[in-house]
Amino acid sequence: MENIIFDRIRKQIESSDVVLYMKGTAVFPQCGFSAAVVQILSQLGVPFKDVNVLEDSDIRQGIKDFTDWPTIPQLYVKGEFVGGCDIVREMFESGELQEMLQSKGLLAA
């Protein structure tokens, strides 16, 4: 069972460069922490795939197990876990997030 969900997650994070597991959608976030990450990505103009965990309880628990991370949102870039809301915010404020996205060709320098 777990393998099926992990396979789905692997496909999701491989099929888009930037994937955000969140509560609600990019257009209508349903949690302040998810909204904060959406706002940062939108402000940078980085396209991302939103996955609404509230619509899929398998993914909601599965992504926590997959990443070994207890909270949502979770940001993946090029298949790698970047962090949750606190880390993304800290990286955005220090400019690290922008540098990392530029180095992966996802943001114009």
Binding site for another protein (CB under 8 A): 33, 64, 68-71, 81-87, 90-91
Cβ proximity to another protein: between 8 and 64 the closer is 64
Rounded least distance, CB 76 to another protein, Å: 12
Question: CB of 86: closest distance to another protein in angstroms?
Answer: 5
Distance of CA 60 to CAs 9, 52, 90, Å?
11, 8, 24
Which of 57, 109 has the CB closer to another protein?
Answer: 57
Nearer to another protein, 2 or 80 (CB): 80
Q: From the CB of 71, what's the least distance to another protein, in Å?
A: 5
Which are the contacts of 21, defined by CB distance < 8 A and separation ≥ 6?
51, 53, 59, 63, 72, 73, 74, 75, 76
Question: Within the chain, how many helices (H) and strands (E) appear?
Answer: 5, 4
Q: How many residues does the chain have?
A: 109
